[in-house]
Amino acid sequence: MRVLGIETSCDETGIAIVDAEAGLLAHRLYSQVDLHAVYGGVVPELASRDHIRRILPLLREVLDEAGVRGPELSAVAYTAGPGLLGALLTGASVARALAYGWGVPALAVHHLEGHLLAPLLDDGALDFPFLVLLVSGGHTQLIHARALGDYELLGESIDDAAGEAFDKTAKLLGLGYPGGPALSRLAETAASGDLRLPRPMLDRPGLDMSFSGLKTAVLTVVQKGQYAPEVIARAFEEAVTDTLVEKTRRALAASGAPVLVVAGGVAANRPLRAGLRAMAEAQGVPVFFPRPAFCTDNGAMIALAGLRRLQAGAVDPGLAIRARARWPLTELAES
Ligand code: KG4
Ligand code: ZN
């Protein structure tokens, strides 16, 4: 079995082919970061139009590199949500049309299921059940993944997602968009400082998190002008890391999950990876991260999720083009 994956949920056009035996055959990614940077955030209409420009050239490259012809594919998987509706529709329409033309099934994939399966692209040893810490630009969730499609939400951010907090804080510090990686690079240049920012909701039981207060705390510190930007960046990163590590530790204990998976764009963050690794080791729990390039949005994780769905018996639901801007992961089994 061999599945083509198409990802267009936000500002990255990702195309890839994954083979059931040989693994990842080819993948391409085009990031629209430069297009949106001048606006300080993603402009949905520009994103949709740019996906239209990029999909087919990237697709040709991927087919060529994999040495696969369209009709030889087992399915075309596309991100059907959650995400920007217009962006989703471009990928979904192209996927549906290609599948129709090639006479193969089209499969609607949940973006977050793609993220949480991404470590499997490099490590076949991972198997259900596991606990997922999903930390992206739009989501911060602790999920008990019992089986493919069987996901229980244990806790989540009640306001900003972790990636969103990174991006907004980076903006406050005058860094570009998206600010997460830039903020992290800046933090690396700071000596361990005397600035300590609050660890939101750590003093309360439960697995929910909150990051908007942290952003406000940063704003206050920035306005006082007492600390250098790199010291603030480091203090912010430490506060986010401590919060996520502690909530994840509690979720492991509460769920009894034997394995930890960390996924989503913020999973590329080095101090967070180190903190989670140390905590998991202390708990005797193996931890899996996708390689950094597959933490952020990409087509490979969508191809893989499509492949897993196909192996589990998924069939083409017909000629409908599916796109949902909002789509809770917990509704996946029923969809
Ligand atoms: O998963 P993703 O590519 O897109 C969504 O589905 O949201 O995640 C993007 C987010 C952005 O907020 C970005 O700033 C953040 O991940 N990010 C990072 C790092 N790399 C990406 N945040 C902190 N440190 C990083 N190294
Ligand atoms: Zn994503």
Q: Tell me: the pLDDT tens digits for 47-64?
A: 999 999 999 999 999 999
Would you state the CATH architecture of domain 128-289? 2-Layer Sandwich (3.30)
**Residue range 184-201: average pLDDT?**
91
pLDDT of the residue at 332: 86
pLDDT at 116 over 60: yes
- In the chain, where does the domain assigned CATH 3.30.420.40 lie? 2-118+294-331, 128-289
- Token pair 């909701």 is at which residue? 201
**Residue range 308-320: average pLDDT?**
93
Nearest ligand 1 atom to the CA of 137 is 7
Ligand 2 centroid vs 195 CA: distance in angstroms? 31
How many Å apart are CA 217 and CA 224, to the nearest integer?
11
Residue 156's alpha-carbon distances to 132, 134, 209, 248, 310, in angstroms, are: 11, 9, 6, 11, 29
Mutate to test the pocket of ligand 1, among 296, 297, 327, 329 (most ligand atoms within 8 A of CB): 296
Query: What lines the ligand 1 site, CB under 6 Å?
Result: 10, 136-138, 163, 166-167, 178-181, 184, 264-266, 268-269, 296-297
pLDDT of the residue at 278: 98
What digits encode the pLDDT tens for the residues 136-178? 999 999 999 999 999 999 999 999 999 999 999 999 999 988 8
Q: What CATH number was assigned to the domain covering residues 2-118+294-331? A: 3.30.420.40
**Residue range 67-93: average pLDDT?**
98
The more confident residue out of 120 and 201 is 120
How many Å apart are CA 11 and CA 27, to the nearest integer?
17
What digits encode the pLDDT tens for the residues 263-277? 999 999 999 999 999
Q: Identify whether the C-beta of residue 91 lies closer than 8 Å to the C-beta of residue 55.
A: yes
pLDDT of the residue at 334: 52
Q: Identify whether the C-beta of residue 312 lies closer than 8 Å to the C-beta of residue 148.
A: yes
Query: How confident is the prediction for the chain on average, in pLDDT?
Result: 96
The pTM score is 0.95
Prior bond of 290 cis (ω within 30°)? no
DSSP for 305-321, written as a single string: HHHHHHHTT-----SPP
pLDDT of the residue at 333: 72
Q: Which ligand has the shortest distance to the CA of 263?
A: 1
Nearest ligand 1 atom to the CA of 184 is 24
**Alpha carbon nearest to ligand 1 atom 16, residue:** 265
What digits encode the pLDDT tens for the residues 213-252? 999 999 999 999 999 999 999 999 999 999 999 999 999 9
